[in-house]
C-alpha cells in the first residue's frame, strides 16, 4: 500500500512545530519530509532531521537539474522538496508529512493529487504576533517579514482540504489526528487491497 501524503501549511508562529511533535510522537507511521534549505540552522536544529542545510550554489544545482518537486524562494532563502526522496518514501509505504507554504502545497498537490492538504490557522492575527514574538530568535526585520507573509498566507486557506484552528492545543491536536485517520480510511486507499477478499465470492 503506498503511503499517504499530508501537507501542512501555517503562518510562521501559528504553532505548527508545537502540534507536529506530539502528532508524530503518537503515530509511528508518520514521517517528516525533510526539505532542502539555504537558510542558516537555528539553535537545536539538526542537519538531515529538520532540513538538509545546503549552500545557495548546491540549491541552484538541485533546482536546475529538476531534482526538486517544488521549491520557493522566501525570506531571502531557498526551500525545496526532493522528488526522488518523496517517491521512495511513498512507494515504501511511509506516510509523509510536509511542512510547506501555500505555493509549495499547490505545486505538490499537482504532482501528488492524492495528497491531503491541511491549513493550521492561529485564533487571530494578534495572537499570531504574540506567539511569534514570544518564541524569540528573530530580529525585528525578520519578525515583520514573517508577519506580513503570514497575513498573505491567511488569504489562501479556502482551497485546502481541511482547516485546523490552533487555539486550544489539545483540541487542535485531536483534530489533526482525526484528519490523518480519515485520510487513511478513504476508499481509494483501502479498497485496492480489500477487494480481493470480497469480490467474486458467493460464500
Ligand atoms: P511554528 O512552528 O508554526 O512557527 P511554534 O510551534 O514554534 O510555531 O509556536 C510558536 C509559539 O507559540 C511557541 O512559543 C509556542 O509555545 C506557542 N504556541 C503554540 N501553540 C500554542 C497554543 N495552542 N496556545 C498558546 N501558545 C501556543
Ligand atoms: P522556516 O524557515 O520557519 O523553517 O520555514 C519557513 C517557511 O518555509 C514555512 O512556511 C515552511 O512551511 C516553508 N517551507 C519549508 N520547507 C519548504 C519546502 O520544501 N517547500 C516550500 N514551498 N516551503 C517550505
Q: How many percent of the chain have pLDDT more than 90?
A: 74
- Mean pLDDT across the stretch 146-167? 97
| Centre of ligand 1 from the C-alpha of residue 132, in Å | 8
- CA-closest residue to ligand 1 atom 20: 15
**Residue 122: nearest ligand to its CA?**
1
Q: Which three cell numbers stand for residue 97?
A: 508529512
Compute the distance between CA of residue 68 and CA of residue 123 in angstroms, rounded to an integer.
33
Fold assignment, 5-199: Rossmann fold (3.40.50)
Cross-sheet strand order for the sheet of 77-82: 51-53, 35-37, 77-82, 68-74
| Centre of ligand 1 from the C-alpha of residue 134, in Å | 9
14: pLDDT strictly greater than 70: yes
- What is residue 202's predicted lDDT score, i.e. its pLDDT? 63
Q: Which residues have C-beta atoms less than 6 Å from ligand 2?
A: 12, 35, 39, 70, 72, 74, 79-81, 99-101, 103-104
CB of 3 closer than 6 angstroms to any ligand 1 atom? no
The domains of the chain are located at: 5-199
**Are 32 and 24 within 8 A, CB to CB?**
yes
- What are 17-67's pLDDT values in tens digits? 999 999 999 999 999 999 999 999 988 899 998 899 999 999 999 999 999
Q: Considering only residues 121 and 76, tell me which one the structure prediction assigns the higher pLDDT.
A: 121
Which of ligand 2's atoms lies nearest the C-alpha of 108?
22
- What is residue 201's predicted lDDT score, i.e. its pLDDT? 64
151: pLDDT strictly greater than 70: yes
If one counts every other C-beta atom within 10 angstroms of the C-beta of residue 94, the result is 18
- CA-closest residue to ligand 2 atom 19: 80
- Mean pLDDT across the stretch 148-153? 96
At residue 189 the predicted structure's pLDDT band, cuts being 50, 70 and 90, is confident
CB of 9 closer than 6 angstroms to any ligand 1 atom? no
- What is residue 203's predicted lDDT score, i.e. its pLDDT? 58
- What is residue 47's predicted lDDT score, i.e. its pLDDT? 96
| Centre of ligand 1 from the C-alpha of residue 152, in Å | 19
Amino acid at each position: 500500500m503506498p503511503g499517504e501524503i499530508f501537507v501542512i501549511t501555517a503562518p510562521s508562529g501559528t504553532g505548527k512545530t508545537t502540534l507536529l511533535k506530539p502528532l508524530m510522537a503518537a503515530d509511528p507511521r508518520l514521517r517528516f519530509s525533510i526539505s532542502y534549505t539555504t537558510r542558516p540552522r537555528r539553535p537545536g536544529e539538526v542537519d538531515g532531521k529538520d532540513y538538509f542545510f545546503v549552500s545557495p550554489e548546491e540549491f541552484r544545482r538541485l533546482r536546475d537539474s529538476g531534482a526538486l518537486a517544488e521549491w520557493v524562494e522566501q525570506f531571502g532563502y531557498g526551500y525545496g522538496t526532493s522528488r526522488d526522496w518523496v517517491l521512495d518514501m511513498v512507494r515504501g509505504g511511509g506516510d509523509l508529512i510536509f511542512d510547506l507554504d501555500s505555493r509549495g502545497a499547490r505545486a505538490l498537490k499537482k504532482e501528488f493529487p492524492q495528497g491531503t492538504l491541511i491549513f493550521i490557522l492561529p485564533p487571530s492575527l494578534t495572537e499570531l504576533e504574540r506567539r511569534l514574538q514570544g518564541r524569540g530568535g528573530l530580529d525585528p526585520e525578520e519578525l515583520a517579514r514573517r508577519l506580513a507573509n503570514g497575513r498573505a498566507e491567511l488569504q489562501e486557506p479556502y482551497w485546502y482540504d481541511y482547516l485546523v484552528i490552533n487555539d486550544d492545543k489539545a483540541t487542535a491536536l485531536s483534530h489533526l489526528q482525526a484528519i490523518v485517520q480519515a485520510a487513511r480510511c478513504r476508499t481509494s486507499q483501502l479498497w485496492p487491497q480489500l477487494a480481493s477478499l470480497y469480490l467474486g465470492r458467493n460464500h
